[in-house]
A = this chain, B = another copy of it.
């Protein structure tokens, strides 16, 4: 059961956006609420950046305007996701307490004039947060409009100040107990970094050369944990008085917060998703982000909290979505498990740094193509009520882990910056997405027994327990697929000694001795099954210890050595090992073979290029990204479905208009 149930049960799919009434006069409020009703909006987030309006001077609170706003919304049947305003403290706080502002690695203290300038380690900041949150909770916990709490906004601040240094030391004491344990974990014997006391530890501030990777890794852990503490302190105040679900807006593949660690601190997983419309990979990347978000709390429905209706403002060149793309993006989110699609923001600001960020009501007002599309989308989403609360049933897991990402991509001085964790993850996800195969992105400690295929594209660092968890897949009949430079290090980024990947040489039936980044020409690989192809970026010097060699390096320093191996496990499963970066079509073929071995089939075959398929519960979503109509032949089980978006029944072929979509509810439960 998801934390969204209390919201979706009476409303179906949620629809709305951030609304910032403090930027507008009451007459605009009334126009806005009327427009919301007309557009089918049923949820707005209020108050995210209202602290300076709520508390214009220290301790003096002005809440009457918010009373009026909440009453107005409630009167119009729009639920409120009420925010705590901790993301942007008022200038008076920084003016009175400069130590509430964060400091960067160079020692520069952040100034007011933007947002997110706070130091999460400052007790003064936290006390002021607690006070304003208490005031809000006291006043609005029982307000009937308040359906959810939105704690802060896009947590992600990193601070290197002395207050945070003090909290870091406490965190390290808790983690390691004594300083010798820290010295061992951080390998401080290297470069004479041994600490004689926790007091000597500082955050990884500007240094002349590369920082200790384990120290950087722990600083990232600490930073995520410290923000989590700021979050939890507010949740505790809320839960004293309110039973409404609590959420905060994550940012999918944002490195600052380990969402897997935060998952149980929220009731609803919410995400801000801003892919670039100018990037052709944008739909695939969005789908990957959605599969990540859905995996954060074991497949629960989630909420797309922010996206753009047109263009954003913060890229160098901001190509906008078309209104049709806007709808496809929303439907994709629902297809991948979202129970609501919201936007930043309802009405475009006239001032401030985001005045050119698109909104549901543009500067030109409601009599515009964009707003008409927003209204039409509201009607469309109402038709998807049967989908709300249902789950995506994924039989494939992609393994991803924040600390492993940090260790594998964000620490200094790795063998190659060209082999990046997210790039590998996307490369392995893309063929699955293209085939319409549902995939959960999950941490290596997840319950993997739910999955028939477990893909580990790039998991640089892994602790022993998680490594063992992954290793069990083939023995219980599943298919495990491991990509390059995985299983290399332990949880402190220490390289495991021995033939790699040390924890998995047994299950893979293969072992290696040398990682060999490739020069720009790449390397030729020959395979009976996959043909001869050029692999790039990376190679590994491995030998088979029992695995079948499916492809072999054909030139270069590793000529004659295995490039791709498969071991059939006595338990019935298989273990695949990809030691290089194959071209896209070869990787797709490898994944197809792995799926076939596990008996995982795509929902549709012969899907036209540019048409996406995604199953959620009993509904099959089909999204046509092309600017031409597409015909999709339907399998027997889907023929006779009803398209929820139109109410029409479809026969054995579906005709999708240009950039159009369908949501097919099959006639029976007898679907494969």
Q: Which residues of A contact B (CB under 8 A)?
A: 20, 22-23, 49-53, 56-57, 85, 87-92, 94-95, 102, 104, 106-117, 157, 186-197, 199-202, 204-215, 278, 310-311, 313-314, 316-320, 322, 348-356, 362-365, 368-370, 412-418, 492-500, 512-520, 541, 557
- Residues in B whose Cβ lies below 8 Å from that of A517: 311, 317-320
Determine if B22 and A189 form an interchain contact, defined as CB atoms under 8 angstroms apart: yes
Given A414-B313, A498-B363, check contact A208 B117 (CB 8 Å). Answer: yes
A–B pairs, 10, beta carbons within 8 Å: A20-B189, A20-B190, A104-B206, A117-B208, A311-B517, A313-B413, A363-B500, A364-B499, A364-B513, A365-B497
Given A113-B212, A117-B208, A311-B415, check contact A52 B107 (CB 8 Å). Answer: no
A282: shortest Cβ distance to chain B, in Å? 11
CA distance A20 to B191 in the complex (A): 10
CA distance A189 to B24 in the complex (A): 9
Determine if A53 and B313 form an interchain contact, defined as CB atoms under 8 angstroms apart: no
A216: shortest Cβ distance to chain B, in Å? 8
- Residues in B whose Cβ lies below 8 Å from that of A192: 49-53, 85, 87-90, 115
- Residues in B whose Cβ lies below 8 Å from that of A205: 111, 113
A367: shortest Cβ distance to chain B, in Å? 8
Closest to A214 in B: B351
A496: shortest Cβ distance to chain B, in Å? 8
CA distance A500 to B350 in the complex (A): 13
Determine if A319 and B519 form an interchain contact, defined as CB atoms under 8 angstroms apart: yes
Interface centre among A215, A313, A314, A356 (most CB of B within 10 A): A356
Determine if B364 and A512 form an interchain contact, defined as CB atoms under 8 angstroms apart: yes
Given A108-B107, A192-B85, check contact A114 B157 (CB 8 Å). Answer: no
A249: shortest Cβ distance to chain B, in Å? 15
- Residues in B whose Cβ lies below 8 Å from that of A57: 196
A364: shortest Cβ distance to chain B, in Å? 4
Q: Which of B102, B187, B368 contacts A513 (CB 8 A)?
A: B368
A60: shortest Cβ distance to chain B, in Å? 9
Closest 7 CB pairs of A and B: A187-B351, A190-B352, A114-B207, A210-B353, A52-B194, A111-B205, A364-B513
A589: shortest Cβ distance to chain B, in Å? 27
- Residues in B whose Cβ lies below 8 Å from that of A53: 189, 192, 194
Determine if A313 and B91 form an interchain contact, defined as CB atoms under 8 angstroms apart: no
Determine if A199 and B95 form an interchain contact, defined as CB atoms under 8 angstroms apart: yes
Determine if B112 and A200 form an interchain contact, defined as CB atoms under 8 angstroms apart: yes
A632: shortest Cβ distance to chain B, in Å? 25
- Residues in B whose Cβ lies below 8 Å from that of A317: 416-418, 517
- Residues in B whose Cβ lies below 8 Å from that of A318: 415-416, 517
CA distance A113 to B265 in the complex (A): 33
Known: A52-B192, A190-B354. 4 other contacts (CB 8 A): A107-B109, A212-B352, A318-B517, A353-B412
Determine if B512 and A207 form an interchain contact, defined as CB atoms under 8 angstroms apart: no
Q: Which of B200, B351, B413, B418 contacts A314 (CB 8 A)?
A: B413
Closest to A186 in B: B351
Closest to A493 in B: B351
CA distance A316 to B352 in the complex (A): 37
Q: Which of B207, B351, B496, B520 contacts A112 (CB 8 A)?
A: B207
Given A193-B91, A498-B364, A500-B363, check contact A114 B50 (CB 8 Å). Answer: no
